[in-house]
């Protein structure tokens, strides 16, 4: 299996190469050159499988020669062995047609663990074969940073430098990062906003002099290996609800379009998905794009669902590529236009293609709070604000009533305790696997939001590129 860039100018890579590279050298994102498919019988045969065995079946066609089946099984067993629930991603019934797919039983209480726990192990496995030491640099507003740090802490041949805006992440989120004292983990509190931190990271990647001194890598959801591991839970949930004999719909709280794109991949592989419901908060670029073809960037409005406060959805480019005839050169031009003007129109082929599978809904703060109260009153469930945005969209969109609707529950409510308490009057407690988060020592550096301060801090500690 080879991976090609959405912008048509970078060379193809195998799974190992695409995993380590993250972004393609032409600025595009990697996608498999074709979609592997399963027959109805092959899906039906997955009904009794464990999560790990389902993961092996679903991921194996994508890894090509990069891993043997036994190696993949070994990595999945390690990654999902760290989850606190024996089903890994259990389904919970809310009423006669709505279900909740709980993706937050990993070590850092958000769905990003599903992908990052495996990605950390893949990095380690692939690096062991090469004379390369990876320097991961990232900026986080909360969930990605803690999940990435947990996934790579203590691993050989990897250092991680994670920037967060000082004083602007929650105490739980900060402590999940800063109490990890492994020697390869460097937390940096930036005296500025998340946008400042992100701009510093982008500049490090784009600075030819700095970038040439280290093997830099990224852990955000542009990495193909992250997406492929998320395809697994769509299959796992759907076959439990009767697929392939019955169609299932999914509602997905969406930010960077990574999670819902994994659902699209599952559909391309043959899983009978009735609808993918893209749920946004008031930062609604995806809702406008899917409804009106208008993909234009607004200014970010802070909400109670910070992981969805996004105005550019990186993985949307993958959908546009696949729906637009996979013409990388044309898409490269379209994306360049967007980067220059912060706006673009979808082509008719892209709009019509998307309309066949996707429906979107924009959920404001009131609808989110109402839905949190509904889940509590109707099903006795305390749910997190992001999952509530997904569930509100699931309630709003009209569908054939015989189709079960699965909302992806992307975070544990204790990760967003204040917002949950405001909406429901109940303050969720941290599960015991979070440990004595508030009793542990914290370690982090505080730096001014300048390129010089951050690059000299990283350069003093990172391992230089060889050769």
Ligand X SMILES: *Cc1c(COP(=O)(O)O)cnc(C)c1O
Minimum gap (Å) between residue 416 Cβ and ligand X? 8
With CB under 6 A, what is the number of residues at the site for ligand X?
A: 16
Minimum gap (Å) between residue 315 Cβ and ligand X? 7
Nearer to ligand X, 221 or 369 (CB): 221
Minimum gap (Å) between residue 412 Cβ and ligand X? 9
Nearer to ligand X, 20 or 110 (CB): 110
Backbone angles phi, psi at 413, to 5 degrees: -60, -25
Nearest Cα residue to 139 out of 437, 467, 456, 449:
449
Quickly count: other Cβ atoms within 10 Å of residue 380's Cβ: 8
Q: Does 308 bind ligand X (CB under 6 A)?
A: yes
Nearer to ligand X, 166 or 411 (CB): 411
Nearer to ligand X, 135 or 291 (CB): 291
The binding track of 92-111 with respect to ligand X, each residue x by CB under 6 A or -, is ------------------x-
Q: What is the DSSP string of 170-192?
A: -HHHHHHHHT---TTEEEEEEES
Q: How many CA atoms lie within 13 A of 465 on its CB side?
A: 11
Which tokens is 170 given?
């929650």
Q: Does 112 bind ligand X (CB under 6 A)?
A: yes
Minimum gap (Å) between residue 38 Cβ and ligand X? 23
Enumerate residues 6+ apart whose C-beta is below 8 A from 266.
231, 234, 235, 238, 273
Active-site option among 112, 247, 342, 356: 112
Q: Does 371 bind ligand X (CB under 6 A)?
A: no
Nearer to ligand X, 118 or 127 (CB): 118
Considering only 253, 328, 353, 404, the residue that binds ligand X (CB under 6 A) is 253
Strands 158-165 and 134-139: parallel
Considering only 259, 284, 317, 322, the residue that binds ligand X (CB under 6 A) is 259
Q: What is the DSSP string of 349-390?
A: HHHHHHHTTEEEEE--HHHHHHHHHHHHHHH-----HHHHHH
Which tokens is 40 given?
């109805």
112 belongs to the catalytic site:
yes
* CB contact at 8 A, 252 and 278: yes
Nearer to ligand X, 32 or 258 (CB): 258
Nearest Cα residue to 322 out of 240, 382, 267, 385:
267
The residues in 387-426 that bind ligand X, with binding defined as CB under 6 A, are 410-411
Q: Does 284 bind ligand X (CB under 6 A)?
A: no
The binding track of 211-230 with respect to ligand X, each residue x by CB under 6 A or -, is ----------x---------
Nearer to ligand X, 10 or 362 (CB): 362
Nearer to ligand X, 279 or 344 (CB): 279
Element (H, E) at 288: helix 285-292
Residues of 395-421 as b/e, b for ≥16 C-beta within 10 angstroms? bbbebeeeebbbbbbbbbbbbbbebbe
Strands 98-102 and 91-93: antiparallel
Stretch of residues binding ligand X (CB under 6 A), selected from 71-79, 200-208, 247-255, 322-330: 247-255
Stretch of residues binding ligand X (CB under 6 A), selected from 131-139, 165-173, 248-256, 334-342: 248-256
Minimum gap (Å) between residue 260 Cβ and ligand X? 6
Stretch of residues binding ligand X (CB under 6 A), selected from 70-78, 155-163, 254-262, 333-341: 254-262
What size, in residues, is the chain? 467
Considering only 258, 270, 353, 413, the residue that binds ligand X (CB under 6 A) is 258
Q: Please tell me the distance from the alpha carbon of residue 338 to that of residue 32, in angstroms, as a whole number.
A: 24
Backbone angles phi, psi at 436, to 5 degrees: -90, 60
Q: Please tell me the distance from the alpha carbon of residue 104 to that of residue 327, in angstroms, as a whole number.
A: 37
Strand partners, 350: none
Nearest Cα residue to 236 out of 34, 22, 49, 389:
49
Q: Does 143 bind ligand X (CB under 6 A)?
A: yes
Considering only 257, 295, 321, 338, the residue that binds ligand X (CB under 6 A) is 257
Q: Does 113 bind ligand X (CB under 6 A)?
A: no
Q: Does 118 bind ligand X (CB under 6 A)?
A: no
Minimum gap (Å) between residue 256 Cβ and ligand X? 3
Residues classed as catalytic:
112
What is the binding site for ligand X (CB under 6 A)?
A: 110, 112, 143, 221, 253-259, 307-308, 386, 410-411
């Amino acid at each position: 299996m080879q991976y090609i860039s959405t912008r048509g100018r970078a060379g193809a890579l195998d799974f190992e190469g695409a995993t380590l590279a993250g972004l393609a050298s032409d600025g595009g994102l990697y996608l498999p050159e074709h979609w592997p498919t399963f027959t109805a019988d092959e899906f039906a045969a997955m009904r009794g499988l464990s999560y790990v065995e389902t993961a092996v079946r679903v991921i194996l066609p994508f890894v090509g020669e990069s891993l043997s089946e036994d190696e993949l099984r070994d990595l999945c067993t390690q990654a999902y062995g760290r989850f606190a629930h024996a089903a890994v991603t259990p389904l919970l019934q809310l009423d006669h047609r709505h279900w909740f797919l709980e993706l937050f039983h990993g070590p850092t209480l958000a769905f990003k663990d599903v992908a990052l726990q495996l990605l950390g192990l893949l990095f380690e496995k692939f690096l062991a074969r090469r004379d390369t030491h990876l320097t991961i640099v990232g900026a986080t507003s909360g969930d990605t940073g803690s999940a990435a740090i947990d996934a790579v802490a203590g691993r050989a041949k990897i250092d991680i430098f994670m920037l967060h805006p000082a004083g602007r992440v929650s105490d739980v989120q900060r402590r999940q990062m800063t109490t990890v004292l492994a020697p390869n983990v460097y937390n940096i509190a930036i005296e500025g906003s998340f946008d400042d931190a992100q701009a510093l990271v982008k500049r490090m990647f784009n600075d030819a002099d700095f970038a040439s001194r280290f093997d830099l890598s990224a852990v955000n959801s542009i990495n193909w290996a992250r997406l492929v591991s998320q395809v697994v839970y769509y299959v796992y949930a759907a076959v439990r609800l009767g697929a392939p004999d019955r169609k299932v719909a999914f509602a997905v709280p969406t930010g960077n379009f990574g999670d819902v794109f994994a659902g699209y991949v599952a559909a391309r592989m043959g899983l009978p998905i009735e609808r993918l419901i893209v749920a946004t908060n008031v930062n609604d670029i995806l809702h406008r794009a899917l409804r009106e073809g208008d993909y234009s960037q607004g200014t970010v409005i802070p909400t109670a669902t910070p992981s969805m406060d996004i105005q550019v959805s990186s993985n949307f480019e993958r959908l546009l590529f696949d729906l637009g005839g996979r013409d990388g050169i044309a898409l490269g031009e379209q994306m360049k236009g967007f980067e220059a003007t912060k706006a673009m129109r979808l082509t008719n082929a892209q709009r019509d293609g998307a309309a066949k599978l996707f429906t979107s809904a924009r959920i404001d703060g009131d609808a989110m709070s109402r839905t949190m109260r509904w889940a509590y009153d109707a099903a006795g469930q305390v749910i997190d604000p992001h999952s509530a945005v997904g569930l509100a969209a699931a309630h709003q969109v009209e569908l054939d009533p015989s189709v079960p609707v699965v909302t992806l529950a992307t975070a544990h409510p204790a990760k967003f305790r204040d917002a949950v308490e405001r909406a429901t009057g109940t303050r969720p407690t941290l599960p015991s696997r979070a440990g004595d988060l508030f009793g542990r020592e914290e370690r982090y550096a505080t730096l001014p939001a300048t390129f010089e301060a951050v690059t000299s801090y990283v350069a003093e500690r990172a391992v230089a590129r060889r050769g």
